Amino acid sequence: MPDSPTVGSPVGRRIVLGMLGLAALGIAVGSKVNTALSTLAENDPTGLSGLVPGSGHFRIYSVAGKVPPTAPEAYGLRVDGLVRRPGVLSFADLQDLPQTQLQKDVQCVTGWRVNDVRWSGVLVRDVLHHFGLDGGARAVQFGSGDGVYTESLSLDQALRSDVLIATSMDGSEISDSHGGPVRLYVAPMYFYKSIKWLDSITVTDAAVPGFWEQRGYDVDAWVGQSNGRTDAPTA
Amino acid sequence: MPRPPDALRRFSQGERWIHFSLATLFGICMLTAAMLYFATLSTLVGHRDLVARIHFITGLLLPLPLLLGAFVSQPFRDDVRRLNRFVPDDWNWLRSRDRRTGRIPVGKFNAGQKLNSAFVAGAVLILFGTGLMLHFFGFFTDTVRTGATFVHDMQAAAVAVVAAGHMWMAWMDPGARGGLRTGFVDRRWADAEHGAWAAEIAPAPEER
């Protein structure tokens, strides 16, 4: 009898148990394998490693529907709230402000990391000084052109010298899927802080939790010291 | 289309529902997974929190057809036992080049179908377990979380390939497809593809 419920050996069960064993092993060593793959991906001339999940490449997340791409010429950054002179900065205005370059890692709270990304743009600090802060200013809220995503930082965090309104990434304009033409880069924090398609900055008297923070993520999102994670710091 | 008088019952109504609901849930999981994973799709679709929630809920439901089936359907339990058991001829069948000629007797399920079902069962368990770990991430260290992500991604990629193969085989074989759609297969198809099973449940007239 080629298959009966009783004759033969239970190979199906062995396959299932074997898979479960492999999975347990994978959970134990997956993190190390990821790190090894990231190293490999950085020195990979073939580009094949890009096909392997989680190997040192950006993953693109978006919480809104399709966001129509904005050309730099059409871009505007509204700055309002507790500032002396609310106003709008064009892409050219941003390029006229003092420029800052950073070369630092990106760490996502879901685990992937991209090393040594080159960012340039204007520090949030320089933009805030350009508009002048009112006395009651304690926090900064950021809005996205997708109309859904929000983020915020305490004023002290926003004034750090590694919190950047980025207009360029790895030497070229920031692409639409990476949040271009202008996005935030909060170097010391998990990447959900680095809001894409940045289009508004509102200075407030208290920090308002952002999109993912209302869904359980930490507001003070220091890499390696929040969200129950112990990743190496990015700043 | 009237059923030919010598049609053989291959799957019960319960089994066909189990297959249909598992396939539907699995399809939704795969579709939402693609929307979450592939950059071009995820920017096109967006709504990440909504898509993630659909993916999570569908994933939670994924083992349900199999569990319910195991409780309520005797034919399903019988077929699971058949799928589980390998005899030496199953290994011969896998190794042989003429496995479609019927030289090596094939029962209700051939060895490829047995491997596929075991793999899918394992994949459902692993995706369900690691998926729960990723959802309730607060209970785990980040090393374990990264490991669970790794396993979830790898398992999903592997099962996507296998499912694509499964659907390709079904596409190429209207007789097998009809078996899952109507519950019945015709005698000729059964003799050609599952000769030993056909002889087992309905001996040919000359053998009676």
Q: Is A53 on the interface with B (CB under 8 A)?
A: yes
CA distances from A48 to A45, A53, A55 (A): 8, 11, 11
Mean pLDDT, rounded, for B161-185: 95
The residue among B135, B123, B67 whose CA lies nearest residue A22 is B123
In DSSP terms, B185 is beta-bridged to: B8
Task: Tell me the three state secondary structure of residue B114.
Answer: helix
Is-contact A48 B172, C-beta < 8 A? no
The residue among A94, A105, A99, A128 whose CA lies nearest residue A187 is A105
Q: Is A11 on the interface with B (CB under 8 A)?
A: yes
Q: Is A63 on the interface with B (CB under 8 A)?
A: yes
**A residues 77-136 closer than 8 Å to B (CB):** 110-111
Q: Which residue among A16, A26, A60 places its CB closest to the CB of B39? A: A60
Inter-chain touch A2–B196, beta carbons under 8 Å: yes
Is-contact A193 A151, C-beta < 8 A? yes
Task: Tell me the three state secondary structure of residue B139.
Answer: helix
Q: How far apart are CA A91 and CA A232, in angstroms?
A: 34
> Which residue is listed with tokens 């729960």?
B132
Other C-beta atoms closer than 10 Å to the C-beta of A15 total: 19
Task: Tell me the three state secondary structure of residue A45.
Answer: coil
> Which residue is listed with tokens 């770990």?
B133
Interface test with B, best of A3, A59, A191, A226 (most B CBs within 10 A): A3
Q: How far apart are CA A7 and CA A203, in angstroms?
A: 74
Could you give the percent of chain B with pLDDT greater than 70? 97
Q: Which residue among B40, B43, B107 places its CB closest to the CB of A2? A: B107
Inter-chain touch A15–B157, beta carbons under 8 Å: no
Q: What's the confidence (pLDDT) of residue A60?
A: 79
The DSSP secondary-structure symbol of A83 reads: B
Q: Which residues of A touch B138 (CB under 8 A)?
A: 228
CA distances from B150 to A30, B135, B161 (A): 6, 14, 17
Residue A144's Cβ-count burial label (10 Å; 0-12, 13-18, 19+) is: buried
Is-contact A145 A197, C-beta < 8 A? yes
CA distances from A34 to A51, A223, B56, B153 (A): 13, 18, 24, 12
Q: What's the confidence (pLDDT) of residue B204?
A: 66
Round the average pLDDT of chain B to a whole number and report it.
Answer: 91
Inter-chain touch A53–B125, beta carbons under 8 Å: no
Is-contact A218 A133, C-beta < 8 A? no
- Specify the higher pLDDT residue, B155 or B47: B155
Q: Which residue among B86, B125, B197 places its CB closest to the CB of A9? A: B86
Is-contact B176 B87, C-beta < 8 A? no
Does the pLDDT value for residue B206 go beyond 60? no
In B, minimum Cα distance to A34 occurs at: B150
CA distances from A18 to A29, B81, B120 (A): 16, 18, 13
Q: Which residues of A touch B86 (CB under 8 A)?
A: 8-12
Measure in Å the smallest separation between the Cα of A219 and chain B Cα atoms.
16
Mean pLDDT, rounded, for B33-47: 85
Q: Is A68 on the interface with B (CB under 8 A)?
A: no
Mean pLDDT, rounded, for B45-54: 90
The model's pLDDT over A63-80, given as tens digits with 9 standing for 90+, comes to 887 677 889 999 999 999
Q: Which residue among A12, A20, A146 places its CB closest to the CB of B114? A: A12
CA distances from A73 to A166, A223, B61 (A): 16, 34, 48
Q: What's the confidence (pLDDT) of residue B208?
A: 43
What would the two tokens of residue A110 be? 């879901």
Inter-chain touch B84–A4, beta carbons under 8 Å: no
The residue among A117, A91, A98 whose CA lies nearest residue A181 is A91
Residues 6+ positions from B22 with CB-CB distance below 8 Å: B62, B65, B66
Measure in Å the smallest separation between the Cα of B85 and chain A Cα atoms.
5
CA distances from B137 to A55, A175, B29 (A): 21, 31, 20
Q: Which residue among A29, A62, A215 places its CB closest to the CB of B46? A: A62
Q: Is A34 on the interface with B (CB under 8 A)?
A: yes
Which residue stretches of chain A have pLDDT < 50? none
> In which band, very low, low, confident or very high, does the pLDDT at B110 lie, cut at 50, 70 and 90?
very high
The model's pLDDT over B74-97, given as tens digits with 9 standing for 90+, comes to 999 999 999 999 999 999 999 988
User: How close are the terminal C-alpha atoms of chain B, in Å?
Assistant: 29
Residue type, A75: Y
Task: Tell me the three state secondary structure of residue B46.
Answer: coil
Other C-beta atoms closer than 10 Å to the C-beta of A166 total: 25
Q: What is the DSSP string of B21-73?
A: HHHHHHHHHHHHHHHHH-HHHHHHH--HHHHHHHHHHHHHHTTHHHHHHHHH-
